[in-house]
Amino acid sequence: MNFSDASLYIVKSSLKYSDVVTEEELETHVERIRRQGRDDALVEAKAAEKGLPKSMWDTVSAFANTEGGLIILGLDERRGFAPTEGFDPNRVVEQVIAGLDQAPRAQPKVQPVPSHRVDRFRVDDAEVLGIEIDPLRDDPSRPGPCYVEAKGVLGGSFKRVDDHDKRLTAYEIYLLEMRNAEDGLDRAPVAGTGLSDLSEDLVSRTIGGIRRSRSRALHGIGAEDRSGALRRINALTPDGETTLAGYLAMGVYPQQEFPQLTIDVAVHPGTAKSQDPATRFLDRQNCDGPAPEAIEDAVIAVLRNLSTRRVVDGVGGRDVPEIPEEVLREAIANAVMHRDYSAQVRGQQIAVDVYDDRVEVTSPGGFWGGRTKDNLGEGHSESRNPSLVRLLTHVPMPDDKTTVCENQGSGVPLMIGEMRRHGLPAPDYSASTLDHVIVRLARPGRPDLDRTMRSTGAQWELLAALDEEHPRSIHEIAEATGKSPGALRPVLRELVGRGLVKATAPPQSRNRRYLLAPRAARSRRAAARS
């Protein structure tokens, strides 16, 4: 197959025109890796002077299993990413196409073959090949993981970590395999348990609440038939054992069988976990018991370590925490409802870490189903634990005024709205990984920080949406602040010019990202300590 400079090899109908790398974007990528002196999480350059390297397929797998990426063939990292001497694009492109061929009798090098595009570009007047790999999660019809055929699933499944292709763990492979499958684990029996292992109070209040509502859940079940009612709502199995959902939601003490299924709240000095044993934690509480009580205890533990401000309310006033209580409760409840309860991670707790600049909630198991970092705010209800989530719509919180959740997909939109109403960035899920969901809730800036940097309200809101480690696009900042990209651009230009924000690429680049500059980060840390 022969290609012109403008040619494009398209796999079926997978082309997304907005995703196609242009000559200008490729130049930006090349400039970046040359400046860095290395590849990164999104771009891998390979010399390919003797033909297609074997590591090519490891990288395809890694990009497909994580965020996608661009492979550039014909650039030599050993020579500062200069064009490879003796690179033969015609020979190599045939090898690439053969390795990604999905025809009936083809023998592709990876399975399943991810959506991809192959194009030719010129760098320093030499021809190179660009292979774009889409993340496998974008196509539910292709179950993960993507693996190198010759190495098998266990040895040939990779993920992209910075500039490395790292083998997936057995647990990460399991998560990708089960990403779109309901395993029914929350309806499985907890051996040796029964009605007597459930809290009589929680059972009574739950059943009473259902009967007082308009739900048809208990239609035809007698008022005294508790076992029948609990079987109907999947808290008991037909044989009378508690389900995992029932045991976690209403058990007298679920940690008797699952000691680590708790919520660990830890308060740290500074903005990272301390390595000094003497000052490792400022406060710590391990919250146990049934889900409603553990969630409420965790919220209270966080709140007592946050500042409050006085808000005028009518003729009086009230104390409002720096992060809205509703947001904290929703974030922690989501972690309980949607975490992975498989045997591989039953030894892991939900972690709630309080830092000077944020509260961070971490739960085992990556995103499930069609959920990604980018679409959580769309309001769709999806869960790997549907029976547990449904049950928790009925189980009351300790105040008996609300239940744990609504199961309408409204949780994350509520969090976004409340954070914005309080002048805070939207919840940040960008640090999430294949095997953990991590949400960061920013603590607001202190007045002295605002004075130190002499920033306007709009500038401060933008600064609060950034950190030193995780670059964010203008569209991500827009999502976090509730402002349009057009309104943000002049503010960003001002902050970049003042040295408070760093840009990762030239202004004309579509791949331009923004970071909090060290000067601003130091001021933030100083204010947090004051």
Does the structure show a pLDDT above 90 at 12? no
Cα distances (angstroms) measured from residue 341 to each of 183, 184, 244, 258, 505: 10, 11, 9, 10, 41
Three-state SS at 303: helix
| Amino acid (one-letter) located at 38 | R
Best CA proximity match to 213, nearest among 71, 396, 388: 396
Compute the distance between CA of residue 98 and CA of residue 355 in angstroms, rounded to an integer: 51
Using alpha carbons only, what angle is made at residue 63 by residues 71 and 432, rounded to the nearest 5 degrees? 135
Of 150-159, 288-297, 311-320, 428-437, the one with minimum mean pLDDT is: 311-320
Does the structure show a pLDDT above 50 at 2? no
Compute the distance between CA of residue 211 and CA of residue 29 in angstroms, rounded to an integer: 61
Determine the average pLDDT of the residues in 161-187. 91
Domain boundaries, the chain: 8-177, 185-256, 445-530
Retrieve residue 152's tokens: 């098998």
479's CB contacts (< 8 A; 6+ apart) are 377, 426
List residues bridging with 317 in a β-sheet.
312
Q: Is the peptide bond before 112 cis (omega within 30 degrees of 0)?
A: yes
Determine the average pLDDT of the residues in 333-339. 94
Are the C-beta atoms of 124 and 111 separated by less than 8 Å? no
> Strand (E) positions, 191-307?
263-267, 283-287
State the sign of the Cα–Cα–Cα–Cα dihedral 68, 70, 76, 77.
negative
Does the structure show a pLDDT above 60 at 367? yes
| Amino acid (one-letter) located at 133 | I
User: What is the pTM assigned to this prediction?
Assistant: 0.76
Does the structure show a pLDDT above 60 at 10? no
Q: For the domain made up of 8-177, give the CATH fold.
A: 3.30.950
Are the C-beta atoms of 84 and 47 separated by less than 8 Å? yes
Compute the distance between CA of residue 336 and CA of residue 246 in angstroms, rounded to an integer: 13
Best CA proximity match to 456, nearest among 500, 486, 509, 402: 500
Determine the average pLDDT of the residues in 16-37. 79
Compute the distance between CA of residue 425 and CA of residue 478 in angstroms, rounded to an integer: 10
Confidence of residue 18 (pLDDT cuts 50, 70, 90): very low
Retrieve residue 250's tokens: 């209403």
pLDDT at 446: 43
List residues bridging with 159 in a β-sheet.
166
Concatenated DSSP letters of 337-402:
HHS--SGGGTTPPEEEEE-SSEEEEEEES---TT--TTTGGG-----S-HHHHHHHTTSBPTTSSS
pLDDT tens-digit map of 233-260: 999 999 999 999 999 999 999 999 999 9
Retrieve residue 369's tokens: 């189903």
Are the C-beta atoms of 116 and 133 separated by less than 8 Å? yes
Are the C-beta atoms of 473 and 526 separated by less than 8 Å? no
Of 111-120, 209-218, 356-365, the one with minimum mean pLDDT is: 209-218
Please list, residue by residue across 251-281, b when 16 or more beta carbons sit within 10 angstroms of its beta carbon and e when fewer do: bbebbebbeebbbbbbbbbebeeeeeeeeee
H or E element at residue 111: strand 110-111
Q: Please give the residue that has the higher pLDDT: either 176 or 479.
A: 176
Compute the distance between CA of residue 283 and CA of residue 295 in angstroms, rounded to an integer: 17
409's CB contacts (< 8 A; 6+ apart) are 378, 379, 380, 381, 382
Please list, residue by residue across 191-201, b when 16 or more beta carbons sit within 10 angstroms of its beta carbon and e when fewer do: eebebebbbee
Pairing, β 350-354 against β 263-267: parallel
Pairing, β 69-73 against β 43-46: parallel
Of 151-160, 189-198, 382-391, the one with minimum mean pLDDT is: 382-391
Question: Percent of the chain having pLDDT more than 70?
Answer: 88
The crossing angle, in degrees rounded to 10, of helices 457-464 and 485-497 is 90
pLDDT tens-digit map of 196-222: 999 999 999 999 999 998 889 999 999
Q: What class is the 445-530 domain?
A: mainly alpha
Determine the average pLDDT of the residues in 381-395. 89
Residue with tokens 């709502």: 233
Cα distances (angstroms) measured from residue 376 to each of 68, 144, 247, 319, 389: 19, 21, 28, 30, 17
Confidence of residue 1 (pLDDT cuts 50, 70, 90): very low
Best CA proximity match to 426, nearest among 377, 484, 360, 357: 377
pLDDT at 16: 32
Does the structure show a pLDDT above 90 at 297? yes
Determine the average pLDDT of the residues in 127-140. 90
Are the C-beta atoms of 442 and 358 separated by less than 8 Å? yes
Terminus-to-terminus CA distance in the chain, angstroms? 66
Cα distances (angstroms) measured from residue 160 to each of 221, 383, 431, 434, 442: 53, 26, 14, 10, 27
pLDDT at 451: 38
Residue with tokens 């029932």: 246
Compute the distance between CA of residue 251 and CA of residue 261 in angstroms, rounded to an integer: 12
Are the C-beta atoms of 202 and 290 separated by less than 8 Å? yes
Compute the distance between CA of residue 465 and CA of residue 311 in angstroms, rounded to an integer: 24
Are the C-beta atoms of 514 and 493 separated by less than 8 Å? no
Best CA proximity match to 392, nearest among 260, 242, 206, 216: 206
Determine the average pLDDT of the residues in 289-310. 91
pLDDT at 56: 97
Q: Please give the residue that has the higher pLDDT: either 510 or 272.
A: 272
